[in-house]
Structure 1
Amino acid sequence: MNIASVRRPIVPPTPPRAPDDMSFLGKLAVIRRNMIATWGQRAYEEEIIPGRFIFRNSFILNRPDAIRHILLSNYENYTRTPAGIRMLRPVLGDGLLIAEGHSWTFQRRTLAPAFTPRATANLVPHMTAVLDETIAKLDARTGEAVDLRETMQRMTLEIAGRTMFSFGMDRHGPTLRNFIMEYAERLGRAYFLDMVLPVSWPSPMDFARARFRTRWTEFVAMLIAERRAAGKKDGAPPRDLFDLMDEARDPETGKGFSDAQLVDEVATMILAGHETTATALFWALYLLALDPDTQEEVASETRGEHLDSIADIDRQKFTRAVIDETMRLYPPAFLVARAARDKDNAAGIEIGKGDIIMIAPWLLHRHEKLWDQPNAFIPKRFMSKEPPDRFAYLPFGAGPRVCIGAPFAQAESVLALARLIGAFRIDLADSNPVIPLGVVTTQPDHSPMFRITRR
């Protein structure tokens, strides 16, 4: 895709690329700190990188036709790896994100009505109320150094709480944040035995994860009980995601979620929703602080807009392109790993039973054969008449298992960025480069300070 640009685009900082001949032990030492830093130049140039991963054949795929086969044409042949299940199950249980087979089909069918564009539109007032409060708080801090990463985390958590339960997270937010930080800092990282042992054999860290899961599910069940105690008027339309999920029924069987299943679904939606959106918004603000001209284009587009409905959000074409480009450069899920249930042929690639397939949006989105100026921040590439190949751009996955909450996340991200940049000019108060880390999600290595000025 060729991009014409009058001015030179910015190229944000990234980790140094690994030597292509890095040893297995060398990769193992780096992988827990930053998975992104284990890939060398070859991974950004070649379509297929065969190798070995924990005694199994592995393939890194950068070919859209092969990725299409894995994620769409024959997706049922590929399951999460043991390490992936260990990392996710303690916080998500058997929720939609990691369910397989009939369980996944039931959950997907049952949840689908809760995430239609119409359902998302009904939740926009919750988003705008939180944004009004966030802007008011930031207004009182103009001219000061502000941690916008923390602000985005608190804001998206509040949006998650109100859209899910119709109540604020003042009382429960700190506890929820502590759970997330506790898990991400230690339990959510892959250790050697996590990668080599079958899921049925507990690794040493699995015992700590099990204790965490007990406390975590009790907390989520308490939130659900509090929401149920608030009740709902008979005959009233659903007022939040919990109403939609609690009332959801499989259109084929008429079956709804049990209380235990509802805990896992609520946990999945809160965690997958707020943390990834907060991180995407942080990176968008960081990029716009590095690129004042693009920031002014966003501000110009939002000027005079009310931004309180889906129709208003849909008109923000350039702001949407900024979000799309941000998630190209900093995909929330930097790696998708799958294990083959049986042998297969993916667009000419012979795959054996048990082989590990790695589809890394971080690599795919920066691949030199798929993108013009792949490391540069050029939002207008997403306003081109030639959109990127559907299987070369995977911020929300693809195929039947594409993220069910993608329309909600996109609406929230565009609305938040438009409102924030429409209200404030954002500048960096910290000159240290921010380096992305691949740990659970694509995170910054530190939280830089920003200065905000009222427009």
Structure 2
Amino acid sequence: MTIAEIHDLSLSRRPLVPPAPPRAPDSMGAFRRVLKMGDNAIESWGQRAYEEDVIRGRFFGRSSFILNTSDAIKHVLVDNYENYTRTPGGIRVLRPMLGEGLLIAEGKAWKHQRRTLAPAFTPRAVNTLIPHMIAVADETVVKLKQQCGHPIDLREVMQRMTLDIAGRTMFSFEMGRHGATLRDFVFEYGTRLASPHLLDLVLPLSWPTPRDFARARFRKRWTAFVAQLMAERRAAGKSGDAPPQDLFDLMDAARDPETGASFSDELLADEVATMILAGHETTAIALFWALYLLALDTESQEKLAREARGVEGTAEPERLPFTRAVIDEALRLYPPAFLIARAAMGPDRVSGFPVRKGDVILIAPWLLHRHEKLWQAPNAFLPERFMPGAPPPERFAYLPFGAGARVCIGAHFALVEATLALARLVGAYRIELADEVPVMPVGVVTTQPNRSPMFRIAPR
């Protein structure tokens, strides 16, 4: 499908344009913009951010840059990525949950972790985990029969389903006993501690902020819980020389191919926490937004249902091209990681601008995915743009999993899980919204809905 054909399609069928938050006035001052970042970062960007290539600003005496061009993004995330590290605010927000795991680590520590974990996330390794994914999705479909005709919170259903998939693929056991506790941890952190306070953004990491003390208390309880999960999995063991059953087997046995080093128990716990949270929360959000879009666009929903029922019971995501296209388009409109923030470790030059040590670089998938120079009908829901034969997006215009050396290691896992689960759910049930109140995205750590709308489902 050519760009012209996508354009003709967008005109012929009046594509869905889902609700989005208002854009900030371009005249908004820097201080107000920083305050808005802590509330809903998506509402801090004005129209210029969706039109221009580079936007330069000031942030407490430092320069900040929003990058919307491929060359600039490639330079920061690929060519000179070692010069750019996470910002102090990002580290403060993520470290209590993820410790020193792969998402937080830098330099040699990150390279060791990446090399060691990579074999566990190859397509071949992920294929061995597909039966776990399918089993949970099918169980979810069966449980939903009791909810037909009644209002149902599909966001919570997706959270429970992806949590159980995370538990089974990681530990080979159901998360029934631990699911509520894990969800409580995620909810507590997301509502109380994840939003960066002004002091989190301006103070150096060596100066703890008031919120850091609360985060430290949270981390003590959180790491004890993860240790309990690991202890239960080790107690279950695996028989003799049996092949690996799950991700924990693969990660526990993993060795750095260059040094032969394995993970300490403390670091393994941080990797487990990272994979459970990244695999559970972000996939649940992606599935929620896909279901919300399909409830608004019945034509696309019926097309996906026909595809799913045409290959009923498949465990091969490649046989579900339209389902995958819906997931890709949902990730475009609502990227879970809506912002990549980096701080310069040393001087550099980006898009002709001098960059000094400490300057902040912002690469926002939310902006890139809706940028008016990069997409035809950027705010419209058009899965067809990701179908086989359609022109691929410009490089670095589509970054749902980041890019470069630090691209998300679990991207393939997440896409396989989301594609198979969505096909089973929509193939089994017709989905509609129970009310007409718009659901707005909120950018705080991930792209969350501002409320959990109620849906209604009916058997097909």
- TM-score, structure 1 normalization: 0.98
Question: 1:32 touches 1:190 (CA, 8 Å); kept in 2?
Answer: yes
1:209 to 211, 215, 226: 215
How many angstroms apart in 2 are the aligned matches of 1:274 and 1:307? 23
1:340 aligns with 2:340: no
1:276 to 276, 279, 282: 282
Percent identity of equivalent pairs:
67
For 1:387-445, what per-residue CA distance to the aligned partner results, in whole angstroms no more than 9, with x for missing partners?
00230100000001000000000000000111111000100111100000001100000
How many angstroms apart in 2 are the aligned matches of 1:153 and 1:385? 32
CA RMSD of aligned residues (A): 1.0
The aligned amino acid for 2:91 is I
Question: 1:161 touches 1:167 (CA, 8 Å); kept in 2?
Answer: yes
Question: 1:307 touches 1:415 (CA, 8 Å); kept in 2?
Answer: no
How many angstroms apart in 2 are the aligned matches of 1:436 and 1:352? 33
1:351 to 352, 355, 363: 355
Question: 1:125 touches 1:308 (CA, 8 Å); kept in 2?
Answer: no
1:230 aligns with 2:229: no
- TM-score, structure 2 normalization: 0.97
- Identify the residue that residue 271 of structure 2 maps to in structure 1: 265
SS at structure 2 position matched to 1:260 = helix
SS at structure 2 position matched to 1:396 = coil
Deviation at 1:25, TM superposition (A): 3.1
Q: Which 4+ residue blocks in structure 1 deviate beyond 6 angstroms?
A: none
* Greater shift in the superposed pair: 165-174 or 300-309: 300-309
Residue segments in structure 2 that go unaligned for 5+ positions in a row:
none
1:136 to 131, 139, 142: 142
1:124 to 130, 135, 138: 130
* Greater shift in the superposed pair: 228-237 or 299-308: 299-308
For 1:57-97, what per-residue CA distance to the aligned partner results, in whole angstroms no more than 9, with x for missing partners?
00001111110111011111100000000000000000001
1:324 to 316, 328, 333: 328
How many angstroms apart in 2 are the aligned matches of 1:12 and 1:83? 31
1:245 to 251, 272, 281: 251
How many angstroms apart in 2 are the aligned matches of 1:345 and 1:315? 45
Deviation at 1:351, TM superposition (A): 1.6
How many angstroms apart in 2 are the aligned matches of 1:96 and 1:308? 33
1:424 aligns with 2:429: yes
1:99 to 100, 105, 111: 105
The aligned amino acid for 1:209 is R
- Identify the residue that residue 364 of structure 1 maps to in structure 2: 368
1:179 aligns with 2:160: no
Question: 2:384 touches 2:390 (CA, 8 Å); kept in 1?
Answer: no
Deviation at 1:371, TM superposition (A): 0.4
Question: 2:435 touches 2:454 (CA, 8 Å); kept in 1?
Answer: yes
* Greater shift in the superposed pair: 51-60 or 327-336: 51-60
How many angstroms apart in 1 are the aligned matches of 2:120 and 2:32? 45
SS at structure 2 position matched to 1:34 = helix
For 1:142-196, what per-residue CA distance to the aligned partner results, in whole angstroms no more than 9, with x for missing partners?
1111100000000000000000000011110111111101111011110011111
1:405 to 410, 421, 425: 410
Residue segments in structure 1 that go unaligned for 5+ positions in a row:
none
- Identify the residue that residue 442 of structure 2 maps to in structure 1: 437
- Identify the residue that residue 400 of structure 2 maps to in structure 1: 395
Question: 1:124 touches 1:308 (CA, 8 Å); kept in 2?
Answer: no
- Identify the residue that residue 448 of structure 1 maps to in structure 2: 453
SS at structure 2 position matched to 1:289 = helix
How many angstroms apart in 2 are the aligned matches of 1:49 and 1:304? 48
- Identify the residue that residue 79 of structure 2 maps to in structure 1: 73
